[in-house]
């Protein structure tokens, strides 16, 4: 499955590589100011992006590998 690695890469990219702007910056700035609510909002948004990306990748994988599911089903008969 490609879903989990993709969502983890989004989390790592926004936290480490994107600290100059975006969600990663919001997390770091909220942490520095001690604003737990701002940090939690950013983490929840990041989580939702990861879940959505995982769902898209899962559906794309299922579509592109639909022949493989047919082959597995047919061999079990």
| Cβ pair 42, 30 in contact under 8 A | yes
Could you tell me which residues come within 8 angstroms of residue 31 by beta carbon, excluding any fewer than 6 positions away? 39
Question: Tens digits of per-residue pLDDT, 5-62?
Answer: 655 555 555 555 556 778 888 888 888 899 888 889 988 998 999 999 999 998 998 8
CA separation for the pair 63, 60 (Å, rounded): 5
CA separation for the pair 35, 19 (Å, rounded): 17
- For the question of whether the overall pTM of this predicted structure is more than 0.85, the answer is no
CA separation for the pair 10, 69 (Å, rounded): 28
Block residue for tokens 């794309």 = 60
């Amino acid at each position: 499955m490609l879903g989990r690695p993709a969502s983890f890469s989004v989390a790592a990219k926004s936290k480490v590589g994107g600290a100059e702007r975006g969600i990663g910056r919001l997390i770091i700035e909220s942490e520095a100011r001690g604003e737990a609510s701002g940090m939690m909002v950013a983490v929840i948004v990041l989580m939702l992006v990861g879940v959505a990306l995982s769902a898209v990748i899962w559906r794309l994988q299922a579509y592109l590998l639909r022949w493989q599911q047919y082959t597995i089903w047919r061999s079990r008969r």
